[in-house]
Amino acid sequence: MPKNSKVTQREHSGEHVTESVADLLALEEPVDYKQSVLNVAGGAGGKQEAAEEELDAEDRPAWNSKLQYILAQIGFSVGLGNIWRFPYLCQKNGGGAYLVPYLVLLIIIGIPLFFLELAVGQRIRRGSIGVWHYVCPRLGGIGFSSCIVCLFVGLYYNVIIGWSIFYFFKSFQYPLPWSECPIRRNRTVAVVEAECEKSSATTYFWYREALDISNSISESGGLNWKMTLCLLVAWTIVGMAVVKGIQSSGKVMYFSSLFPYVVLACFLVRGLLLRGAVDGILHMFTPKLDKMLDPQVWREAATQVFFALGLGFGGVIAFSSYNKQDNNCHFDAALVSFINFFTSVLATLVVFAVLGFKANIMNEKCVVENAEKILGYLHTNVLSQDLIPPHVNFSHLTTKDYTEMYKVIMTVKEDRFSALGLDPCLLEDELDKSVQGTGLAFIAFTEAMTHFPASPFWSVMFFLMLINLGLGSMIGTMAGITTPIIDTFKVPKEIFTVGCCVFAFFVGLLFVQRSGNYFVTMFDDYSATLPLTVIVILENIAVAWIYGTKKFMQELTEMLGFRPYRFYFYMWKFVSPLFMAVLTTASVIQLGVTPPGYSAWIKEEAAERYLYFPNWAMALLITLIVVATLPIPVVFVLRHFHLLSDGSNTLSVSYKKGRMMKDISNLEENDETRFILSKVPSEAPSPMPTHRSYLGPGSTSPLEPSGNPNGRYGSGYLLASTPESEL
């Protein structure tokens, strides 16, 4: 106690001490306010959760620069899906017509919810578990579900990085190993591998050399040792990138986020110079308007928006939580969303330019093969020479000449035309052949690169780009797991991160079996989609309807220094929840009407065949969905019936120098109580409770009444400038 305080002066006189809080604070000796905590506990022994959370917020790591943060968000949101899923959906769903539902859903769902996640992460400065517990403790299970979904996605996503690593190292040879079918020697006779001859060199290399795939998900076939080694390398790279948190991952982002754009720009220039590139681009932008009204197209567009921006994963919240409080996250949301969409369109231009080139190559090959058939029929008198137009020269047969000849033969030999086995060789048919997901990158695009001059160089660049795109997304995915767990349970960062990588590697061995690709399909197409949709809906409801959109908008105004557009108010409150509810209903109906399945590669037929998941696989799929969503109802029930401690019996006061000195300058005699409660007359009251300390997973929502006699917020009184008190 200071020597000149009223208590010291009167302690020997026997007078009653009536020293005010203002006097005590004014005469307090200088202390280290980051290390000094005043804590009064309502329970035996006292608790210091509030003080610990405050000190943790003060010591929380921060991005070195705004550029590093933006690159991290771009690296997380721009991933492998932008390179192969978006172009595939464009090709499948009407070309340019698909851009309409995608843009609409990006504006009314994607950008508002992306802004919402950026804002809550930056304001509360916690991972997903802490954020959603703070917003509404009864919906605190959202954060745990986000962690589980991140785990599911990370398990198979790193397998894809492993595939890219395998192709990357195989690219350092000429000719590329997937450019020609292998030759097998049967004693003195050399024969082409039958499986390759029936399909293609790139298809054979993908299914047989890389995956060594089994005929169905029920045939395990044992581990593929090549892919097991690549998976180990992938997890080692990811582990080294994230082991130090944003201190290590932030530096990686400078390369992993920017390098893909260099490669895409190079591929775009090279692609536009290829013969037939314009055909591919025009095919992409030619809209099929009937597709715009297809509900399935809108459902797939919404799912792509979720995955493209990383909504619901927790990675966006985790990255944003390392920001300064005054960062303009409103601008960040628009910027990252635009860059994400621009990247998707850029990648689609590159893909369709290259696929246009490939389609012309395949079309010319088709013309040559069918011209040889026609010559054979002419030599055997099956066809008459009169059917061949006089200007047709078989030595220099063009696609136009073949089409004309084909139509004449089809008209004259209408009754026996099918027996001739001639193909129309239309360029549009080649362009319409959609290759889904990994097949687009590892089969179609890879085959096109074999026709490039200096093909190994382009192959090395392409797969190095895929590795970096995947690494950026994996860093965000790992942040969605590690940040909330470390924030909540205070586990050692390095040990927990390494443990996660080791655990994920061993579980990921499921995906490097010979049947592993089928499990990737299960996790990618089904296990994460429905839980992710539920998570995003509940996030929106928690903020807009439980926490309160008006309160949240006022909070954003105080944090940003300006009021966001009213557009966000209506999107959060009405439009986005409605659209997402329809999306969830459509997804459930889709699962019920169309049983989940996968495309299996049948070795004997050298072709794909769509198979339904067997009963045990369906049971596994349902279990995955239940596990991902189970924390939400469990936490709700436990909190509703007070079976889970919420920490409301704690009375904590923590203080910091800056905030206290600011408040005491305007403190009056009759304002002491209001000062203790962090309510200063000169300051407008916050739309959020200013005296509620964030107590971790067990605290009580400001929106839920408490039975504690000290008030609706329990007995936590806060002087520190925590996320709650600064509002």
State the Cα–Cα distance between residues 16 and 302, nearest whole angstrom.
69
Least Cα distance to 109 among 548, 581, 547, 528 occurs for 581
Tell which residue, 631, 510, 545, 613, has the closest CA to residue 220.
510
Cα dist. 433→227, 358, 359, 440, 442 in Å?
Answer: 28, 11, 9, 11, 15
Gap between the Cα atoms of 689 and 401, Å rounded:
78
Instruction: Tell which phi-psi region holds residue 656, choosing left (phi > 0), alpha (psi between -120 and 50) or beta.
Output: beta
Determine the Cα–Cα distance for residues 658 and 677; give it in Å rounded to an integer.
16
Three-state secondary structure readout of 62-124: CCCCHHHHHHHHHHHHCCHHHHHHHHHHHHHCCHHHHHHHHHHHHHHHHHHHHHHHHHHHHHH
Cα–Cα distance list, 634 to 127, 145, 578, 637, 641 (Å): 20, 11, 25, 5, 11
540 is in an annotated binding site: no
- 128 assigned to a ligand binding site: no
Task: Name which of 77, 79, 129, 75 is nearest 250 in CA terms.
Answer: 75
C-alpha–C-alpha distance, residues 218 and 611, integer Å:
11
Look at residue 626 and give its three-state secondary structure: helix
647 is in an annotated binding site: no
Q: Are 138 and 640 in contact (CB under 8 A)?
A: yes
What gap in Å lies between CA 51 and CA 619, rounded to an integer? 46
The tokens for 105 are 């859903």
Phi and psi at residue 612, in whole multiples of 5°? -85, 150
543 annotated ligand-binding residue: no
Residue 75 marked in a binding site: yes
Ranges of H-type helices in 171-276: 194-198, 201-204, 225-242, 246-272
Q: Which amino acid does the sequence have at 631?
A: P
Q: Both tokens of residue 624?
A: 């995955």
Rounded CA-CA distance 513/218 in Å is 11
> Between 631-640 and 529-541, two packed helices, what is the crossing angle to 10 degrees?
40
CA distances (Å), origin 544, targets 116, 239, 531:
10, 37, 20
On whether 393 is known to bind a ligand per the annotation, the reply is no
Compute the residue count for the chain: 727
Closest CA to 122 of 327, 321, 334: 321
Element (H, E) at 600: strand 597-602
Helix axes 225-242, 455-489, angle to 10 degrees: 60
Rounded Cα gap, residues 655 and 649, in angstroms: 20
The Cα–Cα gap between 311 and 321 comes to 15
Question: In the structure encoding, which two tokens stand for residue 284, read together?
Answer: 């992409």
Task: Please confirm whether the linkage preceding 175 is cis (ω < 30° from 0).
Answer: yes
The owner of tokens 């005491």 is 664
DSSP class of residue 513? B
Find out whether 437 and 84 touch, Cβ atoms under 8 Å: yes
Distance CA(62)–CA(122), nearest Å, equals: 11
DSSP string, 135-162: H-GGGTHHHHHHHHHHHHHHHHHHHHHH
- In a 10 Å sphere around its CB, with 0-12 CB exposed, 13-18 middle and 19+ buried, how is residue 650 labelled? buried
Both structure tokens of 143: 């954060």
Residues belonging to the binding site for Na(+) are 75, 78, 82, 340, 469, 473
Known binding site: residues?
A: 75, 78, 82, 340, 469, 473
